[in-house]
Structure 1
Amino acid sequence: MPMVAWLVQSVFLNVQFPAIPFWGWMLVNIGLTTLVNVLGLSLADRTNKLLTGLGIALVAKRNIPRAVVLVMATAGLLFALVAYIMQLVHPGGVFEDAQIAAYLMSVEVGGQIFADWLNLGLIISGFASGLIVQLSTSRLLYFMGRADILPKKFFGTLSPKTQAPVFNLRFTAVIGLLGLNLTLEMATSFINFGAFLGFTAVNLCVICYFYRARRRQSLGLVSYLLFPLLGMCVNLYLVSQLSATAIVIGLCWLTLGVIYLTWLTHVSKNP
């Protein structure tokens, strides 16, 4: 996720300021966000307070499932509306450069000045996005290290000066450098592979729960069997539409994860 955030940011910056090559903007973005996260304790503190506050607010809601469905429905309608408007502006999906399609379309809509102004807003918000995504990723790795899921000596430690997971921040920065040799489409394909496979697993878990609990609970076949099967089929179809490279690398990464999890639970005797 940090790599994709930096890729998007660098694409927009390269369009706005083409004198600096794409790889140069990647180095600037990775270096700057990592520096801020390593030294910016106050920013990390404010972010953590915000996330904690949101978490408390969610726990205090009575109708969490209903709220989740409402948010997803609203987001879905918004995406559908935006996609429809984009098709009115630029019918079809052929662009001179697909990575900067948003910029090219904004030129069609409002001219060069409008496009540059809009792009500036995307650059500012993109930097904030990269900052927060890297911070949250490094904290997730820290929690996994603290729980001995990852080597605690490296991932489960904080800097005594800034109380930031410096090793994890540097680790995500190094991973982000892999984006120098990737297109935005390829990088997002990796994320989509994990997301679609994760959603497939969620549906599979519902089916497993149905077979385990059907004797002691009254569970509907439509809700607990038919819909999850449909969900699995849709997500597996979406996986099949990704690039072959993304699927191969994703399967290799998945295999490594299964091997590591097996070693962690059987060799180390962890639950």
Structure 2
Amino acid sequence: MTTTTAPGAPSLHRSLKQRHVVFIGLAYMSPFAVFDTFGIVSEATKGHVPMSYIIITIAVLFTAFSYAKMVRVYPSAGSAYTYTRRTIGAPVGFMVGWVALLDYLFLPMINALLAGIYLSASFPDVPEWVWIVGLIVIITALNIIGVRISAVANMVMVVFQALLAVVFLVLTIGAITSDNALAFTFAPFYSMSADLASLVGGAAVLALAFLGFDAVTTLSEETVDPRRTVPRAIMWIAALGAAFFVTITYVMQTLVPDLDALAAITPDIEGASPYIALFIGGIVFQTFFLAGATVSVLSSGLASQLSASRLLFAMGRDGIIPRKVFGYVHPRLGTPVINIVVVGAIALTALKLDLNAATSLINFGAFTAFAFVNLSVIAFWWRHRGDESTRGSVLAWTVVPGIGFVINLWLWLSLDQMAMTVGLIWAGVGALYLLWLTRGFRRPTPEVAFDEAEDLPTGVVRTAKVDA
């Protein structure tokens, strides 16, 4: 049946422009993420981190193309959950949204964990839990105040990180050129010691760095002219991130081409980057580097909590999870306050988990979402082929997303055993909850099929169709 939402129904305020969306996406990706995982992936790939970045970039570009297509059709909060629900079916959409929660809910926890690691290294006398809890409190407060303030804060922090990264790049190049034993070669991309399995395994870990282009699709209902703005922002975020990550890791891998060279600089493979900063620029630059790392986790924490709260809002508004709790928007602030607090509480698991475990869990959700967004493009084309909405090359609607799906499936299967076990258990819990929710599929999965978003002024609630 068709109904009209009542006056005062929850809606999000449309205030973001393309520059805000791009900077939120880059902040979510966190430019400094390239430093967080370098030591781990360098060990796993036997010194070929840039090549693993190229592999994950290929997967990301195919998937970004699919996201750009879907956001033009369904510019509403919910991202992969919304696309799958609308093109393949409500139960499948529920499962994709449920698994994607691993991605969205655990990333703020990773940023809190990194804050503890970085700041404890600088201030060893202060307990690590103080930094973790402190970061969570700050980002929760900023996100409750409003999305525009969060966006402006992210713009400032991303620029600061980018400047520090440029200095890091220049100093690293200087260290390489001053050492006669080092030279710029093709070796960081490929050598005799490289093997495909380790490169793909490294790429599976590095997917964490590219989540920003996916996250901004959850902001469509808060973006001005989302059909035009968000697709452009998606491609800019993916392209800028790829260029930055490959360039930085190439010079880092040239400086420390193997584990022996890395071990000579740092006693800690997982936390290698601060020691590399000390090696190339001394204690002064290391201090600035750690400041940039702190800003990075604050910036990424803001953006990731923002997106997670919007995914919960989309599912709550649709009745997939309790509407009164998760579909609530504060009438004055215009933000889903309860969801923001819930995500902050979940981030406190940083007090117990380690970086490797959290990263693997996030990528389980990420690859699941990426794969189904690619399938959603094909499903949408199949349902609407011949319509104005699917004009253009058939290859663009079928072959390109098909390749994206296969690549993401391959990367998903390359995740470690712990991630697969926990991820599949989480999916199983979601399936049981869906069975209970639908009483064994005797009832339809609750869903609200929103009309394609229009550029409505703040406070105006759109008409919705409720499928009973």
Aligned to 2:406: 233
What amino acid is the match of 1:13? L
For the residue of structure 2 that corresponds to 1:255, the secondary structure is helix
Query: What SS does structure 2 have at the residue aligned with 1:13?
Result: helix
Residue 171 (1) aligns with residue 342 (2): yes
Q: How far apart, CA to CA, are the structure 2 residues paired with 1:77 and 1:49?
A: 24
In 1: Cα distance, 2:141 partner to 2:335 partner: 11
The normalised TM-score by structure 1 is 0.78
Tell me: higher relative CO, structure 1 or 2? Use CA pairs within 8 A at least 6 residues apart.
2
Match in the other structure for 1:79: 245
Q: Which residue among 374, 383, 400 is the counterpart of 1:203?
A: 374
Distance change (3 Å), C-alpha of 1:57 and 1:10: farther
Asked if the contact 1:2–1:133 (Cα under 8 Å) also holds between the matched residues in 2, the reply is yes
**Residues in 1 aligned to 2:323 and 2:391: alpha-carbon distance in whole angstroms:** 44
Residue 187 of structure 1 and its aligned partner are, at CA, apart by 0.9
**CA deviation profile, 1:175-210 (whole Å, cap 9, x unmatched):** 112222211122111111111122222333345456
Equivalent pair of 2:374/2:404 in contact (CA under 8 Å): yes
Task: Tell me if structure 2 keeps the 8 A contact 1:11–1:99.
Answer: no
Aligned ranges 1:8-157 → 2 under 5 Å? 8-38=114-144, 41=145, 43-44=146-147, 46-47=149-150, 55-56=223-224, 58-60=226-228, 68-69=234-235, 71-92=237-258, 96-157=267-328
**The 10-residue stretch of structure 1 (74-83 or 184-193) with the greater mean CA deviation from structure 2:** 74-83
1:263 deviates by 4.5
3-state DSSP of counterpart to 2:224: helix
- Higher helix proportion, which one? 1
Cα distance in 2 for residues equivalent to 1:53 and 1:160: 16
Paired position in structure 1 for 2:418: 245
Report which stretch shifted further, 248-257 or 207-216.
207-216
Q: Distance in 1 between matches of 2:335 and 2:367?
A: 32
* 8 Å Cα contact 2:113/2:132 also seen in 1: yes
Distance 1:52 1:88 in 2: 40
8 A Cα contact 1:90 1:105, kept in partner: no
Q: Distance in 2 between matches of 1:69 and 1:132?
A: 18
- The separation in 2 between residues aligned to 1:125 and 1:193, in whole angstroms, is 23
Distance 1:74 1:54, change over 3 A: farther
Amino acid in the other structure paired with 1:191: I
The counterpart of 1:255, out of the listed 418, 428, 442, is 428
What amino acid sits opposite 1:170 in the alignment? V
Go from structure 1 to structure 2 and tell me whether the alpha carbon gap of 1:201 and 1:140 turns closer, same or farther (over 3 Å shift): closer
8 Å Cα contact 1:89/1:109 also seen in 2? no
Deviation at 1:234, TM superposition (A): 2.2
How many pairs are equivalent? Answer: 266
CA shift, 1:114, in A, is 0.4
2:174 maps to 1:3: no
- What is the Cα deviation at residue 45 of structure 1? 5.3
**Which 5+ residue runs of structure 1 have no aligned equivalent?**
none
What CA deviation, in whole Å up to 9, does each residue of 1:62-91 have, x standing for no partner? xx7677445533432222111211112222
Contact 1:196 1:235 in 2 (8 A): yes
- Of residues 218-227 and 17-26 in structure 1, the stretch that sits farther from structure 2 once superposed is 218-227
C-alpha RMSD of the superposition: 3.6
Per-residue CA distance 1:99-144 (angstroms, 9 max, x = gap): 3222122112212210111211221342233234324423432343
8 A contact 2:139–2:302 mirrored in 1: yes
Residues 155 and 25 (structure 1), Cα distance of their counterparts in 2 relative to 1, 3 Å cut: same
Asked if 2 retains the 8 angstrom alpha-carbon contact of 1:13 and 1:25, the reply is yes
Query: Which amino acid counterpart does residue 241 of structure 2 have in structure 1?
Result: A
Change (3 A) 1:248 1:53: closer
Higher alpha-carbon deviation: 124-133 or 84-93: 124-133
Question: 1:219: Cα distance to partner?
Answer: 8.9
